[in-house]
Amino acid sequence: MKSIKKSIVLATAVLAANAMAWDATPGKPYDGATVKVLSVKSSQFEAHEARLASFEQQTGIKVVYDYVPFPNMKEALTTEMVAGTGDYDVVSVMDQWVPSLQMLLQPITDEVAERNVDLSDFPKAHLRHGQLNGELVGLPVRGHVQLLFYRTDLLKNAGVTAPRTWEEVVSVANAVQNSSDSAGIALPYGKLNGQNLMVWMNLLWGKGGDLFNAEGKPAFNSDAGVAATDMYVGFLRDKKIAPAGSAVFVEQDAVNSFKQGNSAMLPVWWWVRSQLTDPSQSTLNAEQVGFTALPSVAGADRTTFTNTWIFGVTDGSDQKDAAAEFLSWLTDPALERDVLLDPALSEVVSVHMSNLRDSEVNQRWGGMHQAAAEALATAEGMEFGSNWPRVAEILETAISTLASGEDTNTRSVLDKAAAEIASIR
Amino acid sequence: MRERLLPHFLLVPAFLIVLATTIYPLAYSLVTSFREWDLTKQRRPGDFVGLGNYLEAATESAFLNSLWVTTVFVVSSVVLTLVFAFSMALLLRRTGRLHTFTRIILILPFAMSPALIGVSYRFMFNPEFGVLAKGLGQLFPVLEGIPWLADPDLAMGILVATDVWHWTPYMTFMCLGGLASIPKETEEAARVDGASNLRIIFEIVLPQMKGVLLVTAVLKTIFALKMFDQVVTLTGGGPGISTETLAFFIFNVGFKWFDMGYASALAWILTLIMMAISAWYVRMLLSERKVVAA
């Protein structure tokens, strides 16, 4: 019993030491400053806030968090940008909003370099979202990758293993459908904030296509784009491995379908994992849910569409250096590791390759982070222009149109979408 | 003199509030509609572009689609709501405990939030666990497994149905008020003369209800033109763009794409349409009264 206690104390001390690995600028130059943070509500960020004491002690900077629920976050940031009053010094911004909120953020390239933040530890796909016009305007703090979750029991009964390619997804789904009442795979084809693009993008990249060419012109209506779209829509309309209702599924509908035992596979963000086996909202238990890296198109590298939240300093802030000091602490890998290994928390999010490959982290989370690291190693992420919301709307409408059967000519639908996007870019 | 000025003076606070909350924003949006204002690049409205934003609307397929979708929605919704409301008012005009109880129950759909109605119907038409989708499938096997909201026509039908369900109670009460004002003697006289119920409704009740029905139609048309909540929560404008109403499209342009100049122009187009329809209805109403007075 004593040895167990000793081990716990030792482990806690090691973790605490790791959390304290960050070094403040010597001499407390920002002593007395207050940094106000406007953050989206997230238990991960609340865990950071709970660990502020050591930062405040080392720097003399007081940090005040204001949280806004996700559905209202963009409006809150837009208001802050338009008002330009500098009510907040630091803000959290989702990747696809960064270009359209560019007036809100100021460059922090020099301030980050002065504090020796190791940018090479961030996956490329996450880091690029903090860069704008060649300058660093934010650092990744929260990032998601997609994983393929699957029903271990249904796959076992069907005599198949988790697929590694999208081509295998079809055969595995068919095997499951032949041996159970479940649909093969839950996919979102409906319209909501571009959610039906998130799996499609992986197929587009896997087929060798991209949204835009080097000149910034739409390129998704290429042969590769048509093949990727046919493949994605074909899962529903031709192969019939997705539930019939998924023509209007948004991400949460697909998650619900899996949780209710109606679908055997689910490609979705990794943070959803805890929901899938939560007895208060799912019919599944931990033994029934497995995961693997997102399948690739046969012959192509594994990749993943990513989602990133950056933290940046506002244009109106008069506490830029103190804010940068806070950012360097916030993005310290040791802080992230401390949260990942905190037994009182259930936080899986990591944006540092060192933590994604960390053996202890992987031991706690069953190897999920290693799978994410594999996908992130080759993931490029994508560039969101300031008109991304409109581009996404046009693209998701095209996918929805094809999935609903309103129009079945893939090339013509994509050509029309490309022409529409070209006219606004 | 003081007594003459007092009423005007007392109106000043109300006038100032209306000025600040309605007239100023309307005037500001009118000016903005003639300017370029990309909120991602400018904090304040930019250059004047004349009728540029209005001309863009006239040629943009997405706007023209939303105009068509709105027309289909408004016509279906107004006609069906009026038919159901008038029919239910006829059924409920009698007095008695059951009728009173039914009238109380009837108001419940109207008391629900439109956004919540959209979410509820989305769940109820979910092909995997939706109670309506499953129930219809059980009653009529041919409907089993139909992805209701995935079909453009069915999605529009369900959108119209939720709106009719929501507004019929309120409009029923308006019709009940109108029916109560019709002198009973005319109906009784017709009945004595051997007129059938249908003939009484079409030749005696309906002509006397024309004024009430016109007001009801004006209100319902304006509410239908503003349809937004259920589109967001029920269909998201899809599948494709088959249920993208004008109000939904304007929201996207303004608050998703941040094109405030263009959004202001579109909002003014919607306002002008509503003003024109209202003016037409009012004109009809006034001409009706003149005929009655003559």
pLDDT in tens, B191-241: 888 889 899 999 999 999 988 999 999 999 999 999 999 999 999 998 999
In angstroms, the CA A154 to CA A177 distance is 9
> Which residues of chain A fall below pLDDT 50?
1-20
CB of A336 closer than 8 Å to CB of A355 = yes
A300 and A416, same domain (yes or no)? yes
Q: Span B104-133, mean pLDDT?
A: 91
Q: Which chain A residues are Cβ-neighbours of B147 within 8 angstroms?
A: 244-248
Backbone angles phi, psi at A293, to 5 degrees: -60, 155
A249 and A181, same domain (yes or no)? yes
Q: How much of chain B is in helix, strand and coil states, percent to nearest 5?
A: 80, 0, 20
CB of B106 closer than 8 Å to CB of B169 = yes
Rg (CA), chain A: 22
Q: How does strand A146-151 pair with strand A263-269?
A: antiparallel
A292 and A209, same domain (yes or no)? yes
Query: Which residue, among B59, B125, B128, B144, would best test binding to A if mutated, counting the most A CBs under 10 Å from its CB?
Result: B128
Structural domain contains residue A376: no
C-alpha to C-alpha distances, A9 to A12, A15, A52, nearest whole angstrom: 5, 10, 22
The distance of A401 to chain B (nearest Cα, Å) reads 4
CB of B93 closer than 8 Å to CB of B209 = no
A364 and A230, same domain (yes or no)? no
Nearest CA in chain B to A99: B40
Interchain contact, A406 vs B240, CB within 8 Å: yes
Three-state secondary-structure class, residue B242: coil
A118-122, A175-179, B140-144, B160-164, range with the lowest pLDDT: B140-144
A138 and A280, same domain (yes or no)? no
Structural domain contains residue A72: yes
Q: Does A404 touch chain B (CB under 8 A)?
A: yes
Structural domain contains residue A180: yes
Query: Which residue matches tokens 């209005």?
Result: B54
Structural domain contains residue A198: yes
CB of A407 closer than 8 Å to CB of A401 = yes
The distance of B11 to chain A (nearest Cα, Å) reads 33
Nearest CA in chain A to B144: A244
Structural domain contains residue A379: no
A51 and A115, same domain (yes or no)? yes
Structural domain contains residue A168: yes
A186 and A89, same domain (yes or no)? no
CB of A129 closer than 8 Å to CB of A107 = no
pLDDT for the residue B5: 86
Interchain contact, B39 vs A82, CB within 8 Å: yes
* Residues near A83 by beta carbon (within 8 Å), at least 6 away in sequence: none
The tokens for B188 are: 């009784």
pLDDT for the residue A175: 98
Query: Which residue, among B56, B255, B257, would best test binding to A if mutated, counting the most A CBs under 10 Å from its CB?
Result: B257
In angstroms, the CA B287 to CA B294 distance is 11
Interchain contact, A103 vs B127, CB within 8 Å: no
pLDDT for the residue B290: 67
Q: Which chain B residues are Cβ-neighbours of A255 within 8 angstroms?
A: none
A411 and A323, same domain (yes or no)? no
The distance of A230 to chain B (nearest Cα, Å) reads 16
The distance of B129 to chain A (nearest Cα, Å) reads 9
A329 and A418, same domain (yes or no)? no
How many C-beta neighbours within 10 Å does residue B103 have?
A: 15
Structural domain contains residue A375: no
What residues pair up with B38 in beta bridges, in sequence order?
A: B259
Interchain contact, B128 vs A389, CB within 8 Å: no
pLDDT for the residue B195: 87
A51 and A136, same domain (yes or no)? yes
A137 and A166, same domain (yes or no)? no
In angstroms, the CA B189 to CA B204 distance is 10
Tell me: pLDDT of B294 over 60: no
* Residues near A240 by beta carbon (within 8 Å), at least 6 away in sequence: none
Structural domain contains residue A124: yes
Give me the CATH number covering residue A227: 3.40.190.10
The parent domain of residue A72 ranges over 2-143+308-370
The distance of B290 to chain A (nearest Cα, Å) reads 50
| Nearest beta carbon to residue B43 from set A82, A257, A400 | A82
> What is the reported pTM?
0.83
* Residues near A401 by beta carbon (within 8 Å), at least 6 away in sequence: A407, A413, B239, B240, B241
Ramachandran assignment for B236, one of left (phi > 0), alpha (psi -120 to 50 degrees), beta (any other): left
Return the domain boundaries, chain B. Answer: 52-293
In angstroms, the CA A381 to CA A386 distance is 16
Most confident among A408-417, B89-98, B146-155, B201-210 (mean pLDDT):
A408-417
CB of A101 closer than 8 Å to CB of A306 = no
How many C-beta neighbours within 10 Å does residue B143 have?
A: 13
Q: Within the 148-167 window of chain B, which residues sit less than 8 Å (CB to CB) from chain A?
A: 149-152, 155
pLDDT for the residue B292: 59
CB of A118 closer than 8 Å to CB of A348 = no
Query: How many beta-carbon pairs under 8 angstroms link A with B?
Result: 94
Is B52-293 a CATH 1.10.3720.10 domain? yes
A31-58: burial string, b at 16+ Cβ within 10 Å, e else: eebebbbbbbebebbebbeebbeebeeb
Nearest CA in chain B to A400: B240
In angstroms, the CA A63 to CA A90 distance is 10
Q: Containing H/E element for A93?
A: strand A90-94
C-alpha to C-alpha distances, A176 to A186, A293, B47, nearest whole angstrom: 13, 20, 60
Backbone angles phi, psi at A263, to 5 degrees: -135, 150
Q: Does A261 touch chain B (CB under 8 A)?
A: no
Q: What is the largest CA-CA distance in chain A?
A: 72
Q: Does B68 touch chain A (CB under 8 A)?
A: no
Number of domains within chain A:
2
Interchain contact, A253 vs B126, CB within 8 Å: yes
Interchain contact, A393 vs B257, CB within 8 Å: yes
How many C-beta neighbours within 10 Å does residue A123 have?
A: 26
pLDDT for the residue B293: 60
What single DSSP character describes residue A366? T
Ramachandran assignment for A301, one of left (phi > 0), alpha (psi -120 to 50 degrees), beta (any other): beta
Q: What is the pLDDT of residues B228-281, one digit of tens each?
A: 999 999 999 989 999 999 999 999 999 888 899 999 999 999 999 999 988 888
The distance of A248 to chain B (nearest Cα, Å) reads 5
pLDDT for the residue B1: 66
Q: What is the pLDDT of residues B47-73, one digit of tens each?
A: 999 999 999 999 999 999 999 999 999
| Nearest beta carbon to residue A400 from set B239, B252, B256 | B239
The tokens for A139 are: 């650092």
- Mean residue pLDDT of chain B comes to 91
The tokens for A186 are: 């839950």
Interchain contact, B239 vs A103, CB within 8 Å: no
| Nearest beta carbon to residue A245 from set B147, B238, B258 | B147
Rg (CA), chain B: 24
Query: Which residue matches tokens 């106000």?
Result: A36
Length of chain B, please?
294
Q: Within the 184-223 window of chain A, which residues sit less than 8 Å (CB to CB) from chain B?
A: 190-192
Q: Which chain B residues are Cβ-neighbours of A420 within 8 angstroms?
A: 61-62
